[in-house]
Structure 1
Amino acid sequence: MSDKSWLSEIPQLDRHQLLDIRKTLDGAYRSFSREYGDNIEAFFDPLLSFLIWFEKLLLNSPWWLVIAALAIFAYLASRSWKLTLGVVVAFFMIGFLGMWENTMRTMSIITVSTLLAIILGVPIGVAMARSNRVQSIVTPILDIMQTMPAFVYLIPVVMLLGIGKIPGVIAVIIYAIPPVIRLTNLGIRLVDKEVLEAATAYGANSMQRLFGVQIPLAMPNIMAGINQTIMMALSMVVIASMIGVKGLGQPVLKSITNQYFTLGLLNGLAIVAIAIIFDRLSQSYAKRTLQNFGGNE
């Protein structure tokens, strides 16, 4: 009884006041999307053109050429014949089970989203490492991005840009970019100060220390961030399929709505296979980088 009386004393917005606030915010966002939506879409046209070109390149290339290119990439990243063979077998089975086209569409989205997340995330992580003020501003934003339900990202993006590839890419980037930012910041901050002092003593300026010492020594952490970004991007594939992004996510979504167990299982396993491959490749590359810089000594 006392709890109820205590709760009743907390000042609360009137239901009509709350409704007015929601209407005001919704109206403001609709007005913004109507006025600037076309300009924002035009801004993303080059990205859309590149994404369509890259997707067509993967779809129109012979399957054996794509697998060969992936095998070469896997070997260069890992220097492991076992992992390279695993990549070849996995993608051969994906094609054999009739999921090649959807897999290539998913690969195009994930590749472009990951590259953009790295291009945007690494400089932000560097800026955080070089300035405590920037870190204090960016950290709460990253906290919100990582705790916000993934479905919420789709609402403003779809209202602004409609459905299609670009809204999907934007949603994937927003969801997947925090790890590469955080771990870039952490890796640079963990660089031994004595190493930086030695570089300064040899006459290195700020940019030379950054690119010649800090980033190379922080590379294992940066690669770990890229690894997590790829994993989170793949986890958004199914959700992004809800706004028209074609790929492995759409059959999974279809299997949920129509109870097609086998369809969902096979496409889900294809997503898992891609995730495992990229996880192993990025981890292997990170270990090699660490060894090259004497991390095991």
Structure 2
Amino acid sequence: MVDTPWMVEFPAMNPDALRAVNRVIDDAYRAFTRSYGAAIEDAFTPLLHIMVWFEQLLLGAPWWLVIAVVAALAWGASRGWRLVALVVASFLAIGTLGMWEDTMRTMAMISVCTLIAVVVGIPMGILLSRSDRLKAAVVPVLDVMQTMPSFVYLIPVVMLLGLGKVPGLLAVVVYAIPPVIRLTDLGIRLVDKEVLEATDAFGASPWQRLWGVQIPLAMPNIMAGVNQTIMMALAMVVVASMIGVKGLGQPVLRAVTNQYFAMGLLNGLAVVLLAILFDRVTQAYGRRLQRFRHDQP
């Protein structure tokens, strides 16, 4: 059987028409960046100052004090010595291998990005849980945000804000925020309706019902969302090194471009250790909250 031309090649758009469409999109985005780029950068300037201050705080503090504070946070979350020992051993290994400064920069970026994602994402999840119509409109956007390749996020932020910490901060937050929104919405929707009816019977206001019942009962799900947000932010920080974000991602990028196997392996392991520590601490805190709720009369 002989293939006819229409069976061989897909009837794609005319190249000239495709270039015209691309030109229209590019020109529209350039006009947007010229009009609003400076205002968006100014809006992120306070967050940039916070991140720089926290980064300098971590870099300027004695290494033993940083380890002691992180170990205390791990103990507060888990009440277990195994996690504390893991934290201390991991940070001692990172410092011994000469990756302390890059690790502190990465921790500063992750901390600020997670804080922004939580401050924005939890209220957004609460709003989605209260309106099915709003959820139907927002969920497709979250789907796109979660399925878009991480490298694609760098293109618009670089065109909008150039290189540096601010575009990296924006790219990391946009990439990492969907899980905390989704799981906050899910946790509040999963609260037992009989419990809500009981609060209504006692005359609780919607605000009291939200903060006194729904959010406490949804906290394990919310903490799971925070956990996933931290993991995605860590993954994006490595990618964001391509646009000038300092930290563990830059040595990994140099190792890839120059074929430095040992450098890439060690810095990659440092990222893995950070991911494990953040994951274990947030999961332990979520389990403690869940046990505390179950133990309540």
Counterpart residue number, 2:184: 184
Please list the CA deviations of residues 176-222 of structure 1 after superposition, one character each: whole Å capped at 9, or x if unmatched. Answer: 11111111111110000000000111111111111110110000011
TM-score by length of 2: 0.95
Q: Distance in 1 between the 2:7 and 2:186 partners?
A: 44
Seen in structure 2, the aligned counterparts of structure 1 residues 185 and 4 have a Cα distance that, compared at 3 Å, is farther
**Shift of the alpha carbon at 1:2?**
7.1
Counterpart residue number, 2:268: 268
Gaps of 5+ in 2: none
Counterpart residue number, 2:100: 100
**Shift of the alpha carbon at 1:4?**
5.4
Equivalent residue runs for 1:135-214 within 5 Å:
135-214=135-214
Counterpart residue number, 2:13: 13
**8 Å Cα contact 1:290/1:296 also seen in 2:** no
Please list the CA deviations of residues 147-183 of structure 1 after superposition, one character each: whole Å capped at 9, or x if unmatched. Answer: 1111110000000100111111111111111111111
Indicate the percent of aligned positions where both proteins have the same amino acid: 60
Q: Distance in 1 between the 2:168 and 2:114 partners?
A: 13
Moved more, 221-230 or 12-21: 12-21
Q: Distance in 2 between the 1:169 and 1:3 partners?
A: 52
Q: Distance in 1 between the 2:35 and 2:134 partners?
A: 32
For residue 247 of structure 1, give the secondary structure of its aligned residue in structure 2: coil
Q: Distance in 1 between the 2:156 and 2:108 partners?
A: 23
Are 1:278 and 2:278 counterparts? yes
**Shift of the alpha carbon at 1:44?**
1.4
For residue 246 of structure 1, give the secondary structure of its aligned residue in structure 2: coil
Are 1:49 and 2:80 counterparts? no
**8 Å Cα contact 1:124/1:181 also seen in 2:** yes
Gaps of 5+ in 1: none
Please list the CA deviations of residues 112-143 of structure 1 after superposition, one character each: whole Å capped at 9, or x if unmatched. Answer: 00110111111111111110011101100000
Letter in 2 for 1:129: S
Counterpart residue number, 1:240: 240
Aligned length: 296
Q: Distance in 2 between the 1:279 and 1:203 partners?
A: 39
Seen in structure 2, the aligned counterparts of structure 1 residues 51 and 3 have a Cα distance that, compared at 3 Å, is farther
Q: Distance in 2 between the 1:222 and 1:102 partners?
A: 29
Please list the CA deviations of residues 262-288 of structure 1 after superposition, one character each: whole Å capped at 9, or x if unmatched. Answer: 111111111000100111111111111
Seen in structure 2, the aligned counterparts of structure 1 residues 206 and 2 have a Cα distance that, compared at 3 Å, is farther
Counterpart residue number, 1:69: 69
Letter in 2 for 1:43: A
Q: Distance in 2 between the 1:79 and 1:178 partners?
A: 30
Seen in structure 2, the aligned counterparts of structure 1 residues 279 and 295 have a Cα distance that, compared at 3 Å, is farther
Structure 1 segments of 4 or more deviating over 6 A?
A: 6-10
For residue 181 of structure 1, give the secondary structure of its aligned residue in structure 2: helix
CA-atom RMSD in angstroms: 1.8
Q: Distance in 2 between the 1:160 and 1:62 partners?
A: 37
TM-score by length of 1: 0.95
Q: Distance in 1 between the 2:59 and 2:180 partners?
A: 29
